[in-house]
Amino acid sequence: SMSDSIPLIATTAFGLESLVKRELEDLGYKANVISPGWIRFEADLSGICRTNLWLRTADRVVIQINSFECKDFDTLFETTKAIAWDEWIPKDGQFVVTGRSIQSQLSSVPACQRSVKKAMVESLLKAHRTTVLPETGSLHKVEIALIKDQAWLLLDTTGPSLHKRGYRPATATAPIKETLAAAMVQLSFWNPDRPLLDPFCGTGTIPIEAALIGRNMAPGMYRDFPSADWHCIPKEIWRDARTESLDLMKQPGSERLLGTDNDDKILIAARKNATLAGVADDIHFQQREFKDLL
């Protein structure tokens, strides 16, 4: 049940698995890379909150509801129906099913999605002792992933990918995702006592991510997550996780990070992003030509 340890998977871009594994272990969770882009770990409910708030290089945190060999629709339907979905999804919960199929006999994704949705409906109607599921409440996104005839039922806790920190306007396209910028900083030799210069800083993603790391700020502290609205996670668990992230913040370091770019207009956006991220005092943005830095 949910009070015990919950099997979770952090997903990430191919190649960043070892970073996510290290981040999870730093948060106190034993983690294993189970396939490209998937890092499995176990945690209690607070772990769902903490990993969403703290993971810098992961894209999302999903609950592994079940994983089973599956070569036909009967197996898919009956196994899905037997799951205690009501532990996660309330009577009025909205539940959306997405899917994908890779090298599997069940290759029609729409048919798999319909089968899972129908099985979930039957399970929830029975468990909640009702004849109608209004789907007006909290959002629960389920993915049915069929990979080499192994079915994975995954419940998303994150919502929009974790790279959406909330400090960059949704409209602005970044040449580099925040998660990748954080990965680059973590893979570099930089630490908060050393100088950092980004000579092509653009809208400031790399120095901002470095500042968040340097100040031990949870990258998800400014955004929302659908699982924060779930009945099955008591509100105080989310509150405690957010409080912890505020308590662990450090003061700005003595060494200011430097971001330079030859475009002064883009630096206006960079400063704005840094302000929204809460690290305006940590970074000095300056208009400079690269050749003048050498």
Q: Collapsing DSSP states into helix, strand and coil, what is residue 35?
A: strand
161-195 residues labelled b (16+ CB within 10 A) or e (exposed): ebbbbbbbeeeeeeeebbbbbbbbbbeeebebeee
CB burial class (10 A; 0-12, 13-18, 19+) of residue 199? middle
What is the distance in angstroms between the CA of the first residue and the CA of the last residue of the chain? 60
**Backbone angles phi and psi of 100, in degrees to 5:** -155, 155
The distance of Cα 39 from the centroid of its chain, to the nearest Å, equals 12
* Strand-strand pairing, 150-156 and 257-261: unpaired
Q: Please say whether the beta carbons of 153 and 111 come within 8 A.
A: no
Architecture category of domain 6-156 in CATH: 2-Layer Sandwich (3.30)
Q: Please say whether the beta carbons of 2 and 45 come within 8 A.
A: yes
Q: Collapsing DSSP states into helix, strand and coil, what is residue 54?
A: helix
Instruction: Kindly state the DSSP code that residue 66 receives in the 8-state scheme.
Output: E
| Cβ contacts of 82 within 8 Å, gap of 6 or more | 123
DSSP character string of 106-168: ---HHHHHHHHHHHHHHHHHHHTT-S-----S-EEEEEEEEETTEEEEEEESS-S-TT--SSS
pLDDT tens digit at each of 294 positions of the chain = 455 699 999 999 999 999 999 999 999 999 999 999 999 999 999 999 999 999 999 999 999 999 999 999 999 999 999 999 999 999 999 999 999 999 999 999 999 999 999 999 999 999 999 999 999 999 999 999 999 999 999 999 999 999 999 998 766 666 799 999 999 999 998 998 889 999 999 999 999 999 999 999 999 999 999 999 999 999 999 999 999 999 999 998 888 999 999 999 999 999 999 999 999 999 999 999 988 887
- For 288, half-sphere exposure in the C-beta direction (CA atoms, 13 angstrom radius) is 16
**What CA–CA distance (Å, rounded) separates 196 from 184?**
12
